[in-house]
Every structure is written in structure tokens, then in C-alpha cells.
Amino acid sequence: MSSSPAVLTRRRGSIDVVDAKVAVDLATAQTYSENVFLFVPNLIGYARIILAALSLHYMTYHPKYCTVLYCISCLLDAFDGHAARALGQSSKFGAVLDMVTDRCTTTSLLCYLTSAYPEWALGFQFLIALDFSSHYMHMNSSLVTGSKSHKQVQSDVSRLLRAYYNPTTLFIVCAGNELFYIALYLMKWVHTPLSESLGPVGFVGAYTWPELMAWVCGPICAYKNVINLVQLWKASKILVGVDLAERAKAREEEALRTKRD
């Protein structure tokens, strides 16, 4: 193998990993024409972060601004992937940036909900922990098995996860999950029943529109968290399987060395 810094690699399981120092040097020396930081999907990611930050700024005192900014930030999540594929600008940095932005944005809203609904604080804390742990474990299991994307799940590993990571299903479930949390947020601000604003509308008139949105999106949120549990369990099994395979290989190599000696 060539000793050029650009091709220096070390083996870790089934993945060729660029040496960390070489990677830092490459990122520092990248040209404008091939600057991963400035890829269009990543610029969309930065815009999402700014919008999410502004949403958090307004969260405690201006629900309209907060909701609009939060929803735009979430909707942009549907465009960065399309931009990456259309422009040939898919990147590991972009994939991680997207996931971290999603997790941090949702967690920030859940943190607010723990104060808005103190009696449900433990439940919201559990959802935060489950969301982070399942995605962290899943990302790591994807890396150690050489997958190009954490969204590529084989049906023989989990038919449920493979179906979930279908782009259409993923969008619907993630949107419904976020809308449920937004509905809980708005329920603290909107108290006018639909019957007072729209007139006679049947039994639903006794509810506010955020309450109705919560009832509609609640099952989607529940499904999303079932997916998180399955994802956590499958990722744990994959990592344990890799551990067992590596330990078996180490024992075989030790036995061969002992036999030669």
C-alpha cells in the first residue's frame, strides 16, 4: 500500500478508516470547489440550526413565532437529502449533522414540555434518553458493519426498521411525531374550543385545535418510540455480535500463534 498521507488507512473491523490526523489535514486544506462544509445540503443544515435556535428564543413568550420557525426547521429536513442526491453532495458530515440537529431540536422542545407539564417530566426525560440512545447505538452499529448509511437496513435484520426507513414512511412518522410535541406545546397557549371560533362542529367543538392535533398525532408518536425501542435492541444485538466475532477471531489467532510456537 502506498505511504502517501492521502491513502494512509488503518483497519477496524470491516471498515477502512482514514487516519484522524490525515483527515484533519484534508479538511483544513480542502478547496472552495470541494469544500464539504459548503455543500448545499450542509448549508440547509446550518439554516435549520439557526431557525431552531430562533424558535427556542421565542418558545417561552411568543408561540406563533416559535411554532412557525420550528416547523420550517423541521420541514427543511426533507430537502437536504434530496439536495444531496440531486447534486451528488452526500457526505458523512452531512448525515451526522442532520441527525444531531434532529435530536437536539426535538430534545429542546421536550425540555420545555418537562416544565410545562411537570407531572409528565419523567416521561419526557425517558423519551429524550430513548431517542438519543437508540440513534447513537444505531449509528455505531451501522459504522462497525460497514453500512454506507444508517438508513440502509436489510430486511433480514429487521423488516420493521427497513419499512420505517422508506423515505415516505420516514417523513410521515417523523412529521407526526414532531406535530404531537408541537400540539402539546400549543395546548398551553390555546384555550378556545373550536365551537367558539367555528360555531357548531359536533363533538369536536369541545376541544381546541391543538388538542385535536394531539389526538391525531399521538398514535404516530407512540409508533415512533416503538421504532426507537426496536432500533436500540437491534443495534445492541449487532454490536454484541461484532464483539463475539472479534473475540472468536482473536482466540483463533492466539491458538495459531501458540501452535506455531
Cell 440513534: give the residue: 135
Could you give the CA distance from residue 258 to residue 255 in angstroms, rounded to a whole number? 5
Which three-class secondary structure string do you get for 192-209?
CCHHHHHCCECEHHHCCH
Of 102, 131, 243, 261, which one is the catalytic site residue? 102
Active site residue 102: yes
The residues annotated with a catalytic role in the active site are 102
